[in-house]
């Protein structure tokens, strides 16, 4: 019996599904572009193995919150307003955000993460830690100081999606924080800026691998795979060349950065290879660019085929203003959408998760 081309593809897909692991499938890319002379811009893809139903929340300053840990949770009142992205709308699982000072954070998956052993410092659940930093820090240096004074504990999000953390600010500073072998490792060296982040292996090994490629000291051509080491090389290469040509063709900085992050997106159904073994790659669900200088967030959702942005200057972020939200996977979102943000149906229930 002869099989059609589509039949062969179906058999291959079924065969792969029998042995492809659920985890260790890699996810996400982040690029920080601070060399264009006009604005500090950070781009990231969200690659995931399930629909994260992304929800944007707007938090005014002056909200009392706690870290959500079972023992000795940190407690604080937010000093700055912020806009954050929440996994499936849960305030316990925020993975992206920017505050009114232009500090931004991004969680990216890192297999092999081992968090610190619990000590006496006040604790913040991983899914709330980004909020904690945005609420209390104006820049990367302040955020790192807070991270040394408190302890990130995994909770549900950190256990199911172990991550490393990228930070940037409106002054152009950047850092990456990883938890390796039970210790917090901080990459914050002005001589070796942490502008690119993907997934495994840890950042120091990614940097060592990068030196094997053209433009970075080696002879290898830039790779086209979707695995995290290849995406790290491509993202580094495109950031290196982003300022070089075609300003006359595309002077818009947001569009230029989107053009650099899109080649790191993972198509639905793509695989990468662990040795000779094909591994299902998590597809790119959405892509975002944060303008830290002008305080705006640009967003496109792959499945909803939308493209929109939020101008933080149009938001009410003073104490007493309401918490607002917007499902980011709506198909009708286009242009500046701050007018479409609304209050949660049960604000007391939402805030109960955060308040004292």
User: How confident is the model over 102-118, as pLDDT tens digits?
Assistant: 999 999 999 999 999 99
The pTM score is 0.90
Instruction: Indicate the burial class of 86 (C-beta count within 10 angstroms; 0-12, 13-18, 19 or more).
Output: buried
Write out residues in the chain with pLDDT < 50, as ranges: 1-23, 348-349, 352-353, 355-356
Both tokens assigned to 281: 């790659």
At residue 350, the pLDDT reads 52
Domains identified in the chain and CATH numbers: 33-197+283-352 (3.60.60.10)
Q: What is the pLDDT of residues 222-253, one digit of tens each?
A: 999 999 999 999 999 999 999 988 888 899 99
6-11: list long-range contacts, CB under 8 Å, 24+ apart.
Answer: none
Per-residue pLDDT of 148-165, as tens digits, reads 999 999 999 999 999 999
Asked whether 162 and 111 are in contact (CB, 8 A), the reply is: yes
Spatial contact of 334 and 307, defined as CB atoms under 8 Å apart? yes
pLDDT of residue 25: 54
């Amino acid at each position: 019996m002869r099989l059609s081309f589509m039949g062969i593809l179906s058999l291959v897909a079924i065969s792969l599904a029998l042995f492809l692991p659920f985890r260790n499938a890699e996810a996400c890319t982040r690029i920080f572009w601070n060399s264009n002379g006009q604005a500090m811009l950070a781009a990231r893809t969200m690659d995931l193995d399930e629909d994260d139903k992304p929800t944007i929340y707007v938090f005014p300053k002056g909200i009392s919150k706690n870290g959500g840990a079972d023992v000795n949770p940190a407690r604080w009142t937010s000093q700055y307003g912020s806009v954050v992205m929440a996994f499936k709308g849960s305030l316990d699982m925020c993975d992206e955000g920017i505050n009114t000072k232009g500090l931004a954070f991004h969680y990216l998956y890192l297999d092999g993460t081992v968090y610190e052993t619990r000590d006496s410092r006040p604790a913040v659940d991983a899914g709330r830690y980004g909020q904690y930093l945005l609420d209390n820090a104006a820049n990367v240096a302040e955020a790192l100081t807070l991270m040394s004074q408190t302890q990130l504990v995994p909770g549900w999000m950190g256990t199911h999606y172990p991550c490393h953390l990228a930070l940037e600010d409106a002054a152009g500073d950047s850092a990456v924080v990883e938890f390796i072998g039970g210790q917090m490792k901080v990459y914050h060296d002005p001589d070796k800026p942490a502008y690119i982040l993907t997934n495994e292996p840890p950042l120091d090994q990614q940097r060592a691998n990068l030196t094997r490629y053209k433009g970075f000291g080696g002879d290898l051509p830039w790779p086209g795979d979707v695995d995290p080491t290849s995406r790290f090389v491509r993202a580094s290469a495109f950031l290196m060349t982003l300022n070089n040509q075609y300003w006359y063709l595309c002077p818009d900085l947001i569009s230029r950065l989107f053009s650099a992050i899109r080649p790191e997106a993972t198509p639905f159904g793509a695989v990468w290879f662990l040795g000779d073994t094909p591994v299902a790659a998590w597809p790119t669900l959405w892509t975002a660019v944060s303008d830290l200088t002008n305080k705006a967030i640009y967003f496109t959702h792959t499945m909803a085929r939308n493209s929109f942005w939020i101008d933080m200057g149009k938001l009410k972020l003073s104490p007493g203003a309401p918490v607002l939200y917007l499902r980011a996977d709506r198909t009708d979102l286009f242009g500046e959408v701050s007018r479409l943000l609304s209050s949660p149906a049960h604000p007391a229930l939402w805030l109960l998760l955060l308040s004292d």
